[in-house]
Amino acid sequence: MGTQHSGRPRVVIIGGGFAGLTCARGLARAPVEVTLIDRRNHHVFQPLLYQVATAMLSPADISAPIRRVVRHQRNTSVVLGEVHEIDPERRVVVSDAGEIAYDILVLGAGARPVYFGHDEWAKCAPGLKTVEDALEIRREFLLAFERAETARDEDERRRELTFVIVGAGPTGVELAGAMIEIAREVVPRDFRNIDTRSARVVLIEAGDRVLPGFPARNSEHADRDLRRMGVELRLASPVTEIDERGVAIEDERIEAGNVIWAAGVEPSPLTRDLGTPLDDRGRVEVEPDLSVPGHPEIFAVGDLARVVDSATGEEVPGMAPGAMQMGRHIARLIVREARSSAGSRRPFEYRDKGTLATIGRGRAVATVWGRAFSGWPAWLVWALVHVFYLIGFRNRFMVMLEWAWAYVTYKRGARLITGEDSADEGVGWEWGRSPRQ
Amino acid sequence: MGTQHSGRPRVVIIGGGFAGLTCARGLARAPVEVTLIDRRNHHVFQPLLYQVATAMLSPADISAPIRRVVRHQRNTSVVLGEVHEIDPERRVVVSDAGEIAYDILVLGAGARPVYFGHDEWAKCAPGLKTVEDALEIRREFLLAFERAETARDEDERRRELTFVIVGAGPTGVELAGAMIEIAREVVPRDFRNIDTRSARVVLIEAGDRVLPGFPARNSEHADRDLRRMGVELRLASPVTEIDERGVAIEDERIEAGNVIWAAGVEPSPLTRDLGTPLDDRGRVEVEPDLSVPGHPEIFAVGDLARVVDSATGEEVPGMAPGAMQMGRHIARLIVREARSSAGSRRPFEYRDKGTLATIGRGRAVATVWGRAFSGWPAWLVWALVHVFYLIGFRNRFMVMLEWAWAYVTYKRGARLITGEDSADEGVGWEWGRSPRQ
């Protein structure tokens, strides 16, 4: 790396997600040298990824170049590259861009979809973790209507107009709501041979209610709203098979051209390099201060850590607010220790600001200060909170406008099918085969 | 196809570009059945593609779903698919979506980059005709700075920070101006190891002046502005070699990590199916009414036709206004003949509304009503004209806001590097190898 060692502690942050980026920003004026490494050049506001996947927003609306975010921090370098290995003994991370030595390491590399032993499902049922995932889902979603429009028989048409989402967490619920709205309200008049209002959206959940991590009243409201909107729910229904033509649950086969995986994630494999026990979901069981057992100089944060709130003893939910609070906690801790060799570390305390999920136009569920509510008030809270947290004023402003516009006109702004199929240069894929078409 | 034959003339339009889409809209209330076929689901406002390529706008800002544009025309069907062949004898086009019979055919399939016998240059020097092209150029452009930041030696760094554009028509000039502005004004503070202001932008032109199709005074102004902004010009310099490490012109080798092709296009190969003589650039030499010689029922329009203005005897330049006027001319002609078996056809007359090219912030050249001017007034005209012509109010509004915002803050909104390299899942390509990453 081109950076010299100044004698100040070297903090290396892996991952520019909510935890990593918040931590980096918290170190802006600290007497440390920060290196933030990510394999993307941009931070993504993941809670709104489903809006990219459903052609409501453009990727740029929910993303911010990481360099831009930390450009005024002279103590911070950004490296675009992938970390392949962590060596806790030598205190280096091995990346595309060479070895990077650290005094303090913050591991916030996040999670990725996991198919519970069925990796072959991945190609039929993409997950939604990156901008690329969202663009692929958008592409396939929009193409399904096109294929249905030119379908040669009724079976094929029905299959193309059936959308299955596996997993009824917030992402699954939000996708299902958006998709049924588009099929019923947005696109009907654009097609001549099909009635897009007949499209089926099926939401499958292994657990016995939607939004399993939410208070029960939120689940009930969401369940009612989804059914009213026309989403078909299959609860307590673990998926037993996914292939290119559909999905099977215990005693039902659903023919579907479009399947999306929103059911589970697993932590980055970098966790395995730490030499510390992982929980049953592969997450690092961190100390109360968020450090890795036996390695006070390594912190694990966000989706790849199992964090227990030291005040309540409850597990911190894997959502953006928790990740941001973790990043801030570690930044404060690093600043204190860099300024004075302070004694014991303060344990992490999670401030539960509530849970939120949107279902559709004017429909959402929320729990704030222990009170569950739904409908318009919840939707308004949801919209305000999400716009507020989007990084950068420009994005905030644009997202508000896009929403306002979409709300008034019921159009979808980003309804593009991009990508090219090298085989016929025709319809193709966002991720076609030719590196440079 | 699912459409029945109603007895009304069947008009098939190939290509949803400026010519084809304008023609389709002109037939909205005509007693004909219109089928518009395109391999994309969206119309692209090509004059602003370079702004997507330079991370100023998102693809959705300059695109409109074709179905959306013609949704209120009950006589119009949109088919997403590629046309493989035209059979003028049987009066059918052969497409992905099957055979489509026509009574009247409008061929507006456009053009694609041509490398003058050096097809191997295509992979080193992408052209800029589609949204995908623009996203690839954006990606490579932004990655160049990243690669330079982590480069291990000075030669590599210089090479990554050298951008070569081949062809100094409007697209080449606009790209060169935007790129030097970004390197000098937008990104310098984002990097720690490199001075992006030292980046070279080299614009190569085989002819002896920039903007060869423009009045000489515009060329002079553009030449002066580009040099002032720091663009290096190589005029009267045909490219003799392009490889992955750079470009050669007669007696100079330029080491460059990024080469973009803006030098030439060739018409869609569908022109060859018409059995009519083509000019030396492969374009259809149409009759004064824009029909194909010997086939009064086939019209060729836009970039794939050589059209001579019947009033002045001059060739109509291959830009958006001309294409739109052609589309409108044909629509009127079809409407007249569908309503009454009218006699002779009116020849196409081109209304020259002027030429425009932008160079940078507040810099442009224009010729309107025969008067050449430049600087701020030209830029303002350029901005207004382009915003005005963008299809759909929403896009217009958003583009204005994006511009205003970028202008005030000197930020670039769409600075995303997306895509994935299947080889290492790291930096990768927008068009990586795995169909579903």
Share of chain A above pLDDT 90, in %: 69
Query: In the prediction, which pLDDT does B428 show?
Result: 21
List A140, A160, A174, A430, catalytic entry: A174
Residues 6+ apart with CB under 8 A from B340: none
Per-position pLDDT tens, chain B of length 437: 444 556 899 999 999 999 999 999 999 999 999 999 999 999 998 888 999 999 888 888 888 889 988 988 999 999 999 999 999 999 999 998 899 999 999 999 999 999 999 999 999 999 999 999 999 999 999 999 999 998 989 999 999 999 999 999 999 999 999 999 999 988 888 899 999 999 999 999 999 999 998 999 999 999 999 999 999 999 999 999 999 999 999 889 999 999 999 998 999 999 999 999 999 999 999 999 999 999 999 999 999 999 999 888 889 988 888 999 999 999 999 999 998 866 789 999 999 888 899 998 889 999 988 899 999 999 988 888 887 776 555 566 666 666 666 666 665 556 666 654 322 222 222 211 222 22
Catalytic annotation, pick one of B33, B140, B174, B287? B174
Q: What mean pLDDT is predicted for residues A318-337?
A: 94
Measured CA distances, B185 to B125, B195, B258, B360 (Å): 25, 11, 19, 11
Kindly identify which residue of chain B lies nearest to residue A429, measuring between CA atoms. Answer: B435
Taking only residues 344 to 403 of chain A, the set having a beta carbon closer than 8 angstroms to any beta carbon of chain B reads: 394, 397-398, 401-402
- The mean pLDDT value for A368-392 works out to 83
What pairs with residue B204 in β-bridges?
B166, B234
| Predicted local distance difference test score (pLDDT) of residue A97 | 84
Inter-chain residue contact B417 with A81, CB threshold 8 Å: no
Contact: B131, A3; criterion CB under 8 Å: no
User: Smallest CA–CA separation between B285 and chain A, in Å?
Assistant: 27
Backbone angles phi, psi at A42, to 5 degrees: -130, 145
CA B297 to chain A, closest CA, distance in angstroms equals 26
Q: A63–B416: do the CB atoms touch at under 8 Å? A: yes
Range A170-180 average pLDDT? 96
Q: Per CATH, the architecture of B119-263+354-409 is what?
A: 3-Layer(bba) Sandwich (3.50)
pLDDT given for residue B146 in this prediction: 92
pLDDT for res A62:
85
Specify the domain boundaries for CATH 3.50.50.60 within chain A: 10-39+81-113+265-339
Query: Bridge-partner residues for A213, per DSSP?
Result: none
User: Which among B132, B394, B437 has CB closest to A419?
Assistant: B132
The encoded tokens of residue B369 equal: 């009503």
Question: What local confidence, expressed as pLDDT, does residue B391 receive?
Answer: 57
H-run or E-run covering A166: strand A162-166
| pLDDT reported for residue B5 | 59
pLDDT the model gives residue B426: 23
Residue A362 confidence (pLDDT):
86
Which residues of chain B lie closer than 8 angstroms to A187, CB-CB? 67
Instruction: Answer yes or no: B174 catalytic.
Output: yes
Does any CB of chain B come closer than 8 Å to the CB of residue A407? no
Arithmetic mean of pLDDT, A179-202: 93
A293 DSSP 8-state letter:
T
Residues 6+ apart with CB under 8 A from A310: A288, A347, A348, A349
**A82 in B contact zone (CB under 8 Å):** yes
Q: Do A126 and B436 touch (CB under 8 A)?
A: yes
Looking at domain A10-39+81-113+265-339, its CATH superfamily turns out to be FAD/NAD(P)-binding domain (3.50.50.60)
Which one is predicted more confidently, A412 or B165? B165
Q: How far is B304 from chain A (nearest CA, A)?
A: 19
Alpha-carbon span A123 to A126, nearest angstrom: 6
Average pLDDT over residues A20-32: 95
Quick one: pLDDT at residue A108?
97
Q: With cut-offs at 50, 70 and 90, classify the pLDDT of residue A416.
A: low
Q: Is the pLDDT of residue A25 over 60?
A: yes
The answer to whether A435 contacts chain B (CB < 8 Å) is yes
CATH code for A119-263?
3.50.50.100
- Looking at residue A385, its pLDDT comes to 82
Task: For domain B10-39+81-112+266-339, give the CATH number.
Answer: 3.50.50.60
pLDDT at A310: 84
Would the pLDDT of A374 be above 90?
yes
Phi, psi of A24 (to 5 degrees): -60, -45
State whether residue B59 sits within 8 Å of chain A by CB.
Answer: yes
Q: pLDDT class for A361, splitting at 50, 70, 90?
A: confident
The rounded distance, in Å, linking the Cα atoms of B293 and A27 is 72
Residue with tokens 């299902």: A176
* Average pLDDT over every residue of A383-399: 68
Where in chain A is CATH 3.50.50.100? 119-263
H-type alpha helices, B308-392: 320-339, 375-389
Q: What ipTM was estimated for this complex?
A: 0.80
Do residue B82 and residue A429 have CB atoms under 8 angstroms apart?
no
CA distance A357 to B189: 38
Torsion, Cα of A132, A136, A138, A140 (10° steps): 180
Q: Where in the sequence of chain B do the CATH 3.50.50.100 domains occur?
A: 119-263+354-409
Q: Which tens digit of pLDDT belongs to each residue from A263-292?
A: 989 999 999 999 999 999 999 999 999 999
